[in-house]
Amino acid sequence: LRGRKWLIVGDSKQVSPSENFVSEERLEKLRVGLPGDVENSGFLMPGQSFFEYASQTFPSTRVVLSEHFRCAEEIIDYSNRRFYRNKLVPLRVGRREERLDPPVVDVYLEDGEKVGKTNVAECKFIVKDIKSKLESGEYGGKTIGVISLIGEEQASLIRGELLNAVGGGAFATHDIVCGCAPKFQGSERDVIYISVVASGGNVVSQ
């Protein structure tokens, strides 16, 4: 608050912060404590982004950066086309030992079915594939992440089945994490599996 100038860095296309770990009682105290005359005060609540607040309040001072260092071009390409109007310039070139070829693989499961917030067929495929890759040595020295796009239920299902299949030692060696998207904020893994959970005729609106 004392700064004469601020530099606020963020990305409105990324997942918003999660307020899952803040109790409803605590949130209510925060709501009551907010001054009534603060413009866009809702952006000050947990689960909101201060970057978004600044963007709304000072829209004319926004500068968009185009250089992208985090993902290989093949991985960021879809987001670049869909969300960034092809304005991102991917600059990351992985070392030979980092790269997997092809870098992106999509798998269609004919028997996949979303029931509640889980998809058992996706869980079985992911567990079987990870186990196979570990046993063959293809993922030697690589860290692994599994992201569920619909809540923690699917991630929990995969975590339990995978732990039974490969054991706790493999979880530690490969730093395996299974969770929903916010759990991976600011985190990287060499190999990422995405469980979309949704199936034909049963797709959540978001």
Q: What pLDDT sits at residue 72?
A: 83
Q: What is the mean pLDDT of residues 82-107?
A: 86
d(CA 49, CA 14): 10
For residues 58-65, give the mean pLDDT.
87
The model's confidence at residue 206, banded by pLDDT at 50, 70 and 90, is very low
Q: Higher-confidence residue: 24 or 148?
A: 148
Tell me, what's the pLDDT at 61? 87
- pTM exceeding 0.85: no
Whether pLDDT at 99 is above 70: yes
* Sequential DSSP letters for the chain: ---SS------TTSPPPP-TTS-HHHHHHHHHHS-TT-TTGGGGSTTS-HHHHHHHH-GGG-----EE-SS-HHHHHHHHHHHSTT--EE-----TTT--SSS------TT---BTTB-HHHHHHHHHHHHHHHHHTTTTT--EEEEESSHHHHHHHHHHHHHHHHHHHHHHHTT-EEEEGGGGTT---SEEEEE---BTTB----
